[in-house]
Amino acid sequence: MIPPAVHRLARSLPAGRLPAYLYDLGALREHARRIREALPERVELYYAAKANPEAEILAALADRVDGFEVASGGELAHVADAAPGLPLAFGGPGKTPEEIESALRLGVARFHVESAHELAVLAHSAARSGARAGVLLRFNLPVSGGLLDGSALAMGGRPAPFGIDPSEADAVVRGFTDGAYGRLELRGVHAHLASGLDAPRQLAVAGSVVRWSAGLAARHGIALPEVNVGGGMSVDYARPGRRFDWTAYGKGLGRIADDHPGVTLRIEPGRAVSAYCGWYATEVLDVKHSHGEDFAVVRGGTHHLRTPAAKGHDQPCAVLAAEEWDRSRPMSRGGPVTLVGQLCTPKDVLARAVPVPGGLRAGDRVVFAMAGAYAWNISHHDFLMHPRPGFHFLPASSVRPEDGPR
């Protein structure tokens, strides 16, 4: 179901201003409010800015989240500017000494440290600058019972460049207890093991991470008062109406928190927060019959909306038929139509075999849903040098189409 304001704008924008990203900020804020409401108070919600770092998205989320997770010096500077004043957690592999220094200057709340070497670089920079830093050690923890099987993107629980191997955990923690990392304070553990896990599997992973952290703390006789169990809450592009069960997840996290008094839990979802608020609206330029199949070529393509190519799915979409049209109108024959972009590559497919029983014609509009996460910002914009899409941020469903592009 396309929200009325998005529908109106997708219909009324002149063709020359398509394709365009339409972001429903009211829906985003409401969705984030519900997520926050489903979580117990002792669970902090950080938004992973990598999913969609548009300044308007960050500002819309600012009073709905406890902080932001950033994964580069670029994201760090951008988020600090777009949504000032909120705690930032700086994660990601391969942090450069320059990024670490600027993060220390900006007073980043938590460093998610990825290796013993990175810890040494951070400690050295902190000593030089006189800054203090709170550290969560990111571990690549083993996960039993095939919990990560079938996840969209496993980043841990197997050989991977992410996080510290658990076999090094005791040595790294001993570095802290021996005082080797003077200005760094070890606050706890971080683990982001996979993307695309439903609530029961997320809870099982969270439970095992928190237990593992408690074991580490007990072995060393220290407190590890924070555990960040990562993001990766599932988003189902094949069934847009099916949402991650935040209520069950919140209740489950509450139980885990009750079992570990004194531990603050934190999560850092990206996709499941912002995916639903974004729409990519475009126009059919041409319809072709090829070897028995129908194709519609739309303005734009995967160089703007790379999500379906990156994840291998069909982007959910709706057709807005245009009755008025002043040129010849090639039309599909009533069967399924594959929607492709303008790039000279067979990979430029937005959605395969979309049923359009009434036929799809040149001039009709197509609105792709679930385009609010890992969409524009992961796309290869400059390939073929087509114009960039417009960007429209709808603050509430009452916004009128005359709201211009950014």
Ligand X SMILES: Cc1ncc(COP(=O)(O)O)c(C=O)c1O
Question: Active-site positions?
Answer: 344
226 binds ligand X, rule: CB under 6 A: no
CA distances from 64 to 95, 313, 355 (A): 28, 30, 38
- Closest contact distance (angstroms) between CB of 402 and ligand X is 34
Q: Percent helix, strand, coil in the chain (nearest 5)?
A: 35, 25, 45
> Which residue is it, tokens 């109106």?
8
Cα 208 from Cα 185, distance rounded (Å) = 24
DSSP 13-37: S-GGG-SEEEEEHHHHHHHHHHHHH
Site string for ligand X, 260-289 (x = CB under 6 A): --------xxxxx-----------------
Which region, judged by CB under 6 A, interacts with ligand X, from 174-182, 228-236, 257-265, 352-360?
228-236
- Residue 121 backbone phi and psi in degrees, to 5: -65, -45
Min. distance of Cβ 45 from ligand X in angstroms? 12
Q: Which of 192, 201, 260, 361 contacts ligand X by CB under 6 A?
A: 192
Task: Work out whether 208 is an interface residue with ligand X (CB under 6 A).
Answer: no
Written as one string, the DSSP assignment of 341-373 is -SSSSTT-EEEEEE--TT--BTT-EEEE-S-SS
Q: What per-residue string of b and e applies to 13-48 under the rule 16 or more CB within 10 Å gives b?
A: beeebbbbbbbbbbbbbebbeebbebbeebbbbbbb
Interface with ligand X, residue 54, by CB under 6 A: no
The two tokens of residue 252 are: 């489950």
Q: Is 230 in the site for ligand X (CB under 6 A)?
A: yes
Count of residues interacting with ligand X (CB under 6 A): 15
Smallest distance, Å, CB 48 to ligand X? 4
Q: Which amino acid is residue 378, in one-letter code?
A: I
Between β-strands 20-24 and 278-290, what pairing exists: parallel, antiparallel or unpaired?
antiparallel
Based on the shown chain and the rule CB under 6 A, indicate whether residue 151 belongs to the binding site for ligand X: no
Q: Could you tell me how many residues make up the chain? A: 406
Name the one residue in this structure whose structure tokens are 């592999």.
93
What is the H or E stretch that residue 395 is in? Answer: none
The correct pick among 19, 26, 91, 363 for binding ligand X (CB under 6 A) is: 91
Query: Tokens standing for 125?
Result: 């920079």
**11 vs 78 by CB, closer to ligand X:** 78
Choices 94-102, 231-239, 243-251, 292-300; region in contact with ligand X by CB under 6 A: 231-239
CA distances from 31 to 46, 280, 371 (A): 14, 19, 15
Of 226-234, 282-290, 340-348, 379-387: span binding ligand X (CB under 6 A): 226-234
Per the DSSP assignment, residues forming a β-bridge with 282 are 366
Asked if residue 67 binds ligand X (CB under 6 A), the reply is: no
Closest to ligand X by CB, 51 vs 281, is: 51
* Under rule CB under 6 A, residue 195 binds ligand X: yes
Q: From the CB of 271, what's the least distance to ligand X, in Å?
A: 4
In the bound state with ligand X, the residue whose beta carbon lies nearer, of 48 and 216, is: 48
Residue 157 in contact with ligand X, rule: CB under 6 A:
no
Q: Which range of residues in 93-101, 199-207, 217-225, 229-237 is near ligand X by CB under 6 A?
A: 229-237
Contact predicate 406/23, CB 8 Å: no
- 320, 312 contact by CB (below 8 A): no
Interactions with ligand X, residue window 111-130 (CB under 6 A):
none
300 contacts ligand X (rule: CB under 6 A): no
Among 53, 67, 157, 232, binds ligand X (CB under 6 A): 232
51 near ligand X (CB under 6 A): yes
Give the footprint of ligand X on this chain (CB under 6 A): 48, 51, 69, 91, 192, 195, 230-233, 268-272
